[in-house]
Amino acid sequence: MTGHDHFLEQVTALLPALRAFGRSLCGDPARADDLVQDTVLKAWTNREQFQSGSNLKAWLFTILRNCYYSELRHRKFEIEDPDGVCAGQVAIAPDHDAKLHLRDLSRALQQLPVDQREALILVCATGLSYEEAADVCQVAVGTIKSRIARARDRLVELLGDDAALVAGPPVVGALADVDGATEPRSGGL
Amino acid sequence: MVMSEKIKPGEPPETAATSSSEPVPDWLTSRLRRMFSDVMDEPVPDEFKALLKQLEDKERGS
């Protein structure tokens, strides 16, 4: 019984990470929190299957991911949207635009196929190793790596201008010096 | 950036090495991390506390 209390304590401690993972997967805060609720319930119901000492975070991510996938499958029936075009638009959080380029990143992530998106998030944002991410997605490590490479290429393509901004523009320096406003491109929004 | 080249026994060797030798540029990694940590820094909504409490009570009851 104390073991179970400990389990719930650990789950509680991982809630922030689960919410962040859910939100970066689906792009929508409310939907993400629904996913996390489902995840917590499923984890608790199946808690006997969790081997203590193994990675609870990876286990919970796996459950959340499965919840997300089954939700995607159901949505396919609800919306005639085989290419995920609408899903990508629905998924954007309309009131989360305090930070412009973070929202752009969120939007860009939604342009990726879900398998590339999850691989990139798991390894680059959550801090899981390639091996752990491969376990979560139930594929080989090499598959995770190639998905990340493809995700990277696409994001660099989508956010490339931003990247130049962050890194410091190499050529437009003379213009930027005038008033310190380093915004060679502001037509996006 | 972590770049482990471990290959699990019994698994085929890495085939995508050509394009993943430089995995993800730093600017992208740091933006992904920030996006993630921004959510992690948010307070957890009360509905989750209620849910956990409910499960805890269930456990005690059984």
Task: Choose the closest CB to A126 out of B36, B48, B52.
Answer: B36
What domains are defined for chain A?
A: 2-170 (1.20.140.160)
CA nearest to B8 within chain A: A141
The count of domains in chain B is 1
- Residue B29 pLDDT level (bands cut at 50, 70, 90): very high
Q: What is the pLDDT of residue A135?
A: 96
Q: How far apart are CA A118 and CA A136, in angstroms?
A: 10
A163/B27 Cβ within 8 A = yes
ipTM tops the 0.85 cut? no
Torsion angle (degrees, nearest 10) of CA A71, A20, A39, A142:
70
Assigned domain for B37 exists:
yes
Residue located via tokens 């917590």: A40
Q: How far apart are CA B6 and CA B17, in angstroms?
A: 12
Cα A45–Cα A46–Cα A49 angle in degrees, nearest 5: 155
Copy the structure tokens of residue A94. Answer: 């309309």
B24/A124 Cβ within 8 A = yes
Query: How many CB pairs below 8 Å do chains A and B form together?
Result: 125
Q: How far apart are the CA of A76 and the nearest CA of chain B, in angstroms?
A: 27
Assigned domain for B30 exists:
yes
Mean pLDDT (10-residue bins), chain A, 189 residues: 73 97 95 97 95 92 96 75 51 46 84 96 95 96 97 90 52 42 43
Assigned domain for B5 exists:
no
Residue located via tokens 């179970």: A4
Strand ranges for A25-184 from DSSP E? none
Assigned domain for B3 exists:
no
Q: What's the rounded mean pLDDT across residues B11-17?
A: 44
Q: What is the pLDDT of residue A95?
A: 43
Assigned domain for B56 exists:
yes
On whether the pTM is more than 0.80, the answer is no
Residues of A in contact with B48 (CB under 8 A): 12, 15, 33, 36-37, 40
Quote the mean pLDDT of chain B: 76
B23/A148 Cβ within 8 A = yes
Residues of B in contact with A149 (CB under 8 A): 16, 19-20, 23
Assigned domain for B1 exists:
no
Q: What is the pLDDT of residue A57?
A: 96
CA nearest to B1 within chain A: A124
Assigned domain for B7 exists:
no
Residue located via tokens 């005639």: A80
Copy the structure tokens of residue A48. Answer: 């006997």
Assigned domain for B17 exists:
no
Quick check: B46 contacting A, CB < 8 Å? no
Q: A171 phi and psi, to 5 degrees?
A: -110, -30
In terms of residue numbers, what domain contains B55? 26-61
Q: What is the pLDDT of residue A84?
A: 54
